[in-house]
Amino acid sequence: MKQDKTGAEIVLQSLVDQGVEVIFGYPGGAVLPIYDTLFKQNSIKHVLVRQEGGAIHAAEGYARSTGKIGVVLVTSGPGATNVVTGLTDAMMDSIPIVCITGQVPQHLIGSDAFQECDTTGITRPCTKHNYLVKDPNKLSPVIHEAFTIAENGRPGPVLIDIPKDVQFANGHYTKKEQIIIPSHRLFEPKIFKNDEKINQVVDLISKAKKPIFYIGGGCINSGPKASELVSQFVEMTGAPATMTLMGLGVLGSSHTNSLGMLGMHGMYEANMAMNECDVMINIGARFDDRVTGRLDAFSPNSKKIHIDIDESNINKTIKVDVPVVGDVKSVLTKIIKTWRDKKLKTKQSDIKLWWDKINNWKKIDCLHFTNNQKEIKPQYAVQRLYELTKNKKTFITTEVGQHQMWAAQFYKFEKPNRWLTSGGLGTMGYGFPAAIGAQVANPDALVIDIAGDASILMNIQEMSTAVQYRLPVKIFILNNEYMGMVRQWQELLHGGRYSESYTDSLPDFVKLAESYKAVGLRAKKPEDLDKVINEMINTDKTVIADIWVSKEENCFPMIQSGSAHNEMVLSKDQKQDEVSAEKGKILV
Amino acid sequence: MNKSVYDTPDQTSVSRRHILTVLVDNEPGVLARVIGMFSGRGYNIESLNVAEVSNDEHLSRITIVTEGTSEVVTQIEKQLLRIVPVHSVSNLDEEGSAVEAEVALVNIDLNDTNKKKIYEVCDFYRARKIENENNSVIFEIAGASERINRFIKEVNQITKIEIVRSGPVAISTNKNNEEE
């Protein structure tokens, strides 16, 4: 066995063989050998972030916008602990990431050495799998396995911790093709078991009077073809379809069968239809608590079909009638074939009655807001942003909070992979670095981070990164000088006591942008808005657009915690009874 | 137990003791992954046992005694299968035909007045005396956990003792129990 490469060279060779084009990272003592090797090659580009947390969100943005695996390289100790939030975020939202961390040399492990931490111990619960590699000969098998695990089955983050002495030591490189991964370490679809299930699925759907599709992020993970198949099958049945926050874009917003987003801040008609349906077809969603509301009142009269690649999601919170464990693309292919072979149809008269009912709910106009001439309504700002960017290849990322929900409600997505948001973990500070990652992957696209004034400050240091790599990322801040969602909950559930939710001493965002040699713009009045948006779009540089919006606007409609789908609070009816306030307080 | 904060539906199914045996690759951190999943998701471990069972294939078997409704235990099984080095999980309780046993070592404070009674009890339970250099009186008892409980209770009524227990290990009696 030839031992002709150093550990660091093996790492780079493995990444090249895996087709890696970009690494997001930050150097430090324990990864210097890898950075040295990186310096000597030209096939992989490295994007230097300004804090490791930025690197992993950028890798997530890269991964989500392309369907490829995002790669991160950071040092030991604080480098590793800084990526923990991003790893957890990727775990919750099923984003494929390979994260390489340096570790102190093996003889120092356990001695509380400088910049030492138990990286594999700390990251065990927030990765799909992780490794500490002690032998340079095992580096390439481990890295190749890590890439496979990251995207196999339900995707997620995988971490590889490499002690510095292993990076220096000589070892043997094993090619990707020579690695055999035992089957128990991977997801195996149980197709043979599913055949009968698929018959049950099509049977249930064909007999449904009030069916609804409930579409999640799993459809996006399954690739663009999966989204096409979902749209196709939705059309074949004529049934309405609603999407989760993570599933936006699977079915185009303008699709006649789309009811838009469901859940806590979802569409009234989508939630009502979920509540009243008789057959629910969950494709790649996981009955998240933000979607279900009160569990015992969740869609009480429906038969539920659940298609999910992760068996542990089946019957986790909601008991389902027909579970199908598998990848959306392959399961939908089978379903469509079976549907055609059996010449099945839904009963048009029933479906029409169902749509009549839904169209009645639509008349409520749940996203209604009262525009005014004096101040910019945040909803209006997103509406205008959509109108002025809809004809471009646009990627939208968000931070977390009110602005995120307004973006989800008012920006219309027609394609998958164009909407990047932190759904499961709800990580403030995600959007800007994710936009950087998306822009690196899509240099010609328009990438906009719809942000809040509080969230953007959580990773504002990445301005340096964006400017250094000439990434024309746009930051569109809905600035209300509050942590808006915190303030909204305090208003609705805590008697209007705005404890620590006012963001005092905000920077002047225009000057902030300028200090990074980026462009700063500001809109204070509705009449400034279009001009600022157009200028932002037409500037070929990193831009911060500081949009001053109404300070105390609430995000509606809303299912308050502990309520059911048919108990939505609408903007016109902002009253709430004290009992539900008391009860809601304990929930998140 | 439903783990959502949004409601706590009536507990229709009963919480019972289950024995799970988990076949895993014997690689660093595998035990931490398994027990971390239990603590992280709020499941109970009543006892835990782990040892390598196949040296050349580097396989270990982990026996976990847990308590929960069948829904919770099913969820535990699925969560265990998500762990990369886990080969298979069997719920021996559900298979209904399993043999379980555990070992206890008991250090007994023996003197002339209690000696006879203690030896009687030990004989009855087939507890075996283990000779040692310090001449302390240590008995070993193996068998079903229930039997060991009764033994300990009886000896405890006579004198002061110190106990260490392995927790049960269990195996299916089903010949066709296919595992990798």
| B131 touches A: beta carbon within 8 Å | no
Contacts of A291 in chain B (CB under 8 A): none
Contacts of A263 in chain B (CB under 8 A): none
Question: Do A112 and A257 fall into the same domain?
Answer: no
Three-class DSSP category at A545: strand
Nearest CA in chain B to A588: B5
Question: Do A232 and A355 fall into the same domain?
Answer: yes
The reply to whether residue A185 touches residue B40, judged by beta carbons under 8 angstroms, is no
Dihedral sign, CA of A28, A34, A36, A40?
A: negative
**Contact present, A569 and A558 (Cβ < 8 Å):** yes
Looking up residue A94, the CATH number of its domain turns out to be: 3.40.50.970
pLDDT tens, position by position, A129-138: 999 999 999 9
Amino acid identity, position A377: K
The reply to whether residue B82 touches residue A312, judged by beta carbons under 8 angstroms, is yes
Contacts of B38 in chain A (CB under 8 A): none
The reply to whether residue A185 touches residue B85, judged by beta carbons under 8 angstroms, is yes
Question: Do A544 and A420 fall into the same domain?
Answer: yes
CA distance B18 to chain A (A): 19
Question: Do A146 and A205 fall into the same domain?
Answer: no
Topology adopted by domain B98-169? Alpha-Beta Plaits (3.30.70)
Does residue A194 have a pLDDT over 50? yes
Q: Is residue A152 part of a domain?
A: yes
Question: Worst-scoring range by mean pLDDT, A65-74, A114-123, A471-480, A556-565?
Answer: A556-565
Of A331, A362, A393, the domain-final residue:
A362
Longest CA–CA separation in chain A, Å: 75
Angle, vertex CA A480, rays to CA A478 and CA A483, nearest 5: 95
Q: Is residue A561 part of a domain?
A: no
CA distance B74 to chain A (A): 9
Nearest CA in chain A to B2: A317
Interface test with A, best of B22, B23, B82, B87 (most A CBs within 10 A): B82
- The total of structural domains in chain A comes to 3
Angle, vertex CA A574, rays to CA A569 and CA A578, nearest 5: 90
Return the pLDDT at B5.
46
Average pLDDT over residues A165-176: 97
CA atoms lying within 13 Å on the CB side of residue A6: 15
Question: Do A120 and A226 fall into the same domain?
Answer: no
Average pLDDT over residues A517-533: 98
Question: Do A208 and A300 fall into the same domain?
Answer: yes
Does residue A576 have a pLDDT over 50? no
pLDDT band (50, 70, 90) for residue B2 = very low
CA distance A197 to chain B (A): 19
Question: Do A334 and A207 fall into the same domain?
Answer: yes
Question: Worst-scoring range by mean pLDDT, A184-193, A248-257, A378-387?
Answer: A184-193
Strands in A336-431 per DSSP E: 394-398, 419-420
- The residue segments making up the domain with residue A515 are 378-548
The reply to whether residue B6 touches residue A292, judged by beta carbons under 8 angstroms, is yes
Give the one of B36, B75, B87 whose C-beta lies nearest to A316's C-beta: B75
Domain spans of chain B, in order of start = 16-95, 98-169
Give the ipTM of the model, two decimals please: 0.92
The reply to whether residue B29 touches residue A128, judged by beta carbons under 8 angstroms, is no
**Contact present, A262 and A271 (Cβ < 8 Å):** yes
Average pLDDT over residues B160-173: 92
CA distance B133 to chain A (A): 36
Contacts of B40 in chain A (CB under 8 A): 125
Contacts of B36 in chain A (CB under 8 A): 124-125
Contacts of B73 in chain A (CB under 8 A): none
Question: Do A219 and A357 fall into the same domain?
Answer: yes
| B81 touches A: beta carbon within 8 Å | yes
Q: By percentage, how much of chain B surpasses pLDDT 90?
A: 70
pLDDT tens, position by position, A449-491: 999 999 999 999 999 999 999 999 999 999 999 999 999 999 9
Give the one of A121, A125, A292 whose C-beta lies nearest to B40's C-beta: A125
Question: Do A284 and A416 fall into the same domain?
Answer: no
pLDDT band (50, 70, 90) for residue A195 = confident
Three-class DSSP category at A304: strand
Return the pLDDT at B1.
39
Does residue A530 have a pLDDT over 50? yes
Return the pLDDT at A574.
45
Nearest CA in chain B to A586: B5
The reply to whether residue B86 touches residue A184, judged by beta carbons under 8 angstroms, is yes
Give the one of B75, B78, B84 whose C-beta lies nearest to A129's C-beta: B84
Residue with tokens 């831009």: A543
pLDDT tens, position by position, A84-118: 999 999 999 999 999 999 999 999 999 999 999 99
Question: Do A13 and A154 fall into the same domain?
Answer: yes
Question: Worst-scoring range by mean pLDDT, A193-197, A426-430, B158-162?
Answer: A193-197
pLDDT tens, position by position, A320-357: 999 999 999 999 999 999 999 999 999 999 999 999 99
Question: Do A354 and A395 fall into the same domain?
Answer: no
Give the one of A132, A184, A588 whose C-beta lies nearest to B28's C-beta: A132
Which sequence positions of A are flagged as catalytic? Answer: 52, 114-115, 164, 485
Pick the CATH number of B16-95 from 3.40.225.10, 1.10.510.10, 1.10.287.1770, 3.30.70.260: 3.30.70.260
Examine residue B168 and say whether the peptide bond preceding it is cis (omega within 30 degrees of 0).
Answer: no
pLDDT band (50, 70, 90) for residue B3 = very low
Does residue B8 have a pLDDT over 80? no
Mean pLDDT of chain A: 95
Q: Is residue A354 part of a domain?
A: yes
Does residue A221 have a pLDDT over 70? yes
Token pair listed for A384: 């205008």
Cα separation, A111 vs A163, in Å, equals: 14
Q: Is residue A333 part of a domain?
A: yes
Return the pLDDT at A583.
58
pLDDT tens, position by position, A46-64: 999 999 999 999 999 999 9
Angle, vertex CA A288, rays to CA A286 and CA A291, nearest 5: 115
Question: Worst-scoring range by mean pLDDT, A34-43, A183-192, A255-264, A284-293?
Answer: A183-192
Return the pLDDT at A585.
63
Nearest CA in chain B to A562: B6
Does residue B13 have a pLDDT over 90? no
Cα separation, A427 vs A420, in Å, equals: 12
Dihedral sign, CA of B19, A154, A218, A55?
A: positive
Question: Do A251 and A282 fall into the same domain?
Answer: yes
Closest CA to A115 of A28, A27, A8, A24: A28
